[in-house]
Amino acid sequence: MSSVPDRSEVDEEYTWNLESIYATDDDWESAYEAIAERVDELEAYEGQVTDDAETFRTVLELRDEIMREVSTVAAYARMRRDEDTTNQQYQALTARAQSLAADAQSAASFIDPEIQELSREDFDSMIDAEPQLETYDHYVDDVLRMKPHTRSAEVEALLADLSEVTGATGEVYNMLSNADMAFPTVEDSSGEAVEISQSNFTNLLKRPDREFRERVYAAYFDEWESVRNAVASAYKNSVKADVKTARARNYETAREAALDGPNVPTEVYDTLVDTVHDNLGKLHHHAELKRQALDVDELRMWDLYMPLTGDEGPDLEYDQATEYVVDALAPLGDEYQSRVADGLDSQWVDVYENAGKQSGAYSGGTYDTQPFILLNYQHDISSMYTLSHELGHSMHSELTKDEQPFIYSSYEIFVAEVASTVNEALLTNQLLETVDDPEFRKHVLNEFLERVRSTLYRQTLFAEFEHETHRLEEDGEPLTADRLDDIYRGLKEDYYEPAVIDDRIAREWMRIPHFYRAFYVYQYATGISAALAIVDDVLERGQPAADDYLDFLQRGSREYPLELLQIAGVDMSTSDPIDRALETYGERLDEFESLLT
C-alpha cells in the first residue's frame, strides 16, 4: 500500500530548521512570557501618542519592537503545528500565540485613532522637531487615508479583541480539512491501495489510468459530501463576519473593505473579471485540446488536471529541481541567484509530505528569522514550479528586510504574487531554451499552460464566487449549501463550457481554504499578469529592467501596490498586463496544438 510517511521517517536534510528560531520549546516559552509581559507597556501611552514628537516616536518604536517579537513567537508555533496538524501540543501553542497577537493588536489599537487627530501639516511639523519620524511618513499617510473607516479607540479595541472570533471559522475549517477528515484509499490498475490526501489529490488526477482518476475523484468529493453542511455553515459565517466587520468600519461592501486596505480600487477587480470573460474562448480552446489529447468523446472533471502530453510527466527528484530553479534566476543577477542557492543549502525548505502535515505550500518566517518554506513535494514538474514560486516570496522578504525598517517589511498580497510568479516565468523560459529532451519540453510547455489556467482563469473564477456570495449576504439572502453549489456550478459551466459539469464538481468550493481569507485569490490572477509583463521586459532589456524589478522588491510596503508596480514598469490600473498575459497563453496554446497534429 502506498502511504504517507510519519514525520520521523523524513530525512532531516529535507526538513526546515525551526531550531534556528528557538532551540527548544522551553526557549519559545521564555520568549512568549517575556513579550506577553511587555504588551501592557503600550497602554501607558494611551491618550498621549501625539502630545509631542518625541513621545510619538517612542510609541511607534515600542509598538514595532513588540510586534516583531510577537510575530516570531506566533510563526514558530504555527510552523510547528503545520508539521503535524494533529499534534495537540502545537495546536495549543498556536492558540496561545494567536491570543497573544490579538492582545497585542488590542493594546495598540488606540494608536491609529489618535494619529488621525493630526493633520498632514501637524505631522510635517513633528518631523521637523524629530527627524527620525520621517521613517513613518508613508505609514502615517496610510493611517490618515483610513480615517473615514477607523472607529473610536474603544471600538477599535473591541474589534481587535473580536479578531479571534471573527477569524475562527477559518481555523475550524483548517482543523476539519487537515486533521479530522480521513480520505479513503483507492485501488490503482495493479491492485495497489493508494491513500488519497489533501496534498496528493490533484497529483492523483494526473495519472494516465482514466478509470482510476474517476475513482479518486468520486471518493474524494464524496468524503467532502459527508461534511457538506458543516463546511457550508463555516463558510456562511465567514462571509457574515466579513460583511459585519466591513459595515462596522463604514464600508458599503466587504469587497470594498478588503481592497481598500492595500489601496487597490475595486475597478482593478472588475477589469480582471471582465478581461478574463472576454478571453474565455482561449480557456475553452485549452479544454478542447485536452479532450483531443486524451482521445475521449467528452472531457470530464476528472480529466482537467491531466496534462496535454497525456501522461504523468517525468519523475523529477528534488535535488535536480533545485538546480533547474537556481539556474533559471540568472537574469536577475548573480547576487539574487547565489542567495537562493545558499538558502536551499540552509534548510529553508520543509520538502516532503508527512502524515498530518499542513497541505499545500507557503513561504513563512519573520523579520528576525530566515525564510521558511513549506512544501509537499511530489517528484514532478508542478512541484518544481511550486518551489520556484515560494522562493520568490522568500526572496521578496529577504530583499525587503535588507532595505526597509520593520514597519515596511511586510507587503501586500497584490505585489507578493508578482514576485513568486516572476520566478515561475523565468523557469519556463530557461527550461524551454536549454532542455533538449523534446518530451520534457512538452511537459514544461504544458506546465506553463496549466499555470495560466489555474492561476489566471481559476483564481478569477474563485474571485467571482467570492464576490457573488458576499453580495448575497449583503442583500440578506441565505447562503445554504444548495445555493453555494448552484453558484459554483454556474461558474464552472461558463469557464469550462466544452466539458461535462457534474454534481460533484459543484461542491468544489468546499475544498478551497483561501475562501476563508476573502478577496485574496484575485491577486494571484493580477500577479501572474504583472509577472509575465516584467519577465518580458527583463528578457528584452536585460540588467536595467532586472534592476528596476529588484528595486521594486526592496521597497516592501513603503509605497502603495499600484505605485510599486509602476517602479517595475507595470500599470495594473489598465487591462494591458492581463491582455498581454492572455495573448501569450493563446500563442502557446497554438504552439502546443501544432505538436498534436
Could you count the other beta carbons within 10 Å of the beta carbon of residue 191? 6
- Helix axis angle, 228-248 relative to 168-175, nearest 10°? 160
Q: 454: burial class by Cβ within 10 Å (0-12, 13-18, 19+)?
A: middle
Angle (nearest 5°) at CA 377 between 203 and 433 = 85
* Measured distance CA(450)–CA(440) in Å, rounded: 15
Q: Which residue has the cell 520538502?
A: 351
Give the distance, in angstroms, between the CA of residue 171 and the centroid of all CA atoms in the same chain.
16
* CB of 216 closer than 8 Å to CB of 186: yes
Contact 36, 100 (CB under 8 A): yes
Our answer to whether residue 390 is catalytic in this structure is: yes
Could you tell me the three cell numbers for 184? 479513503
- Which residue is catalytic, options 114, 390, 466, 559? 390
CA 518, CA 242: separation in Å to the nearest integer?
8
Strand partners, 186: 194
Residues listed for the chain: 597
Nearest to 363 by CA among 380, 387, 341, 384: 387
Q: Which three cell numbers stand for residue 179?
A: 486533521
Where do we find the cell 481569507?
517
Q: What is the DSSP string of 141-207?
A: HHHHHTGGG---HHHHHHHHHTHHHHTHHHHHHHHIIIII--PPEEE-TTS-EEE--TTTHHHHTTS
Q: What single-letter DSSP state applies at residue 2?
A: B
Q: Which long-range contacts (CB under 8 A, 24 or more apart) does 164-171 make?
A: 164/98, 164/99, 164/102, 166/241, 166/244, 166/245, 167/241, 169/234, 169/235, 169/237, 169/238, 169/241, 169/516, 170/238, 170/513, 170/516, 170/517
Place of cell 539574487: 336
Tell the burial category of 423 from Cβ atoms under 10 Å away from its Cβ (0-12, 13-18, 19+): buried
Q: Which residues are catalytic?
A: 390
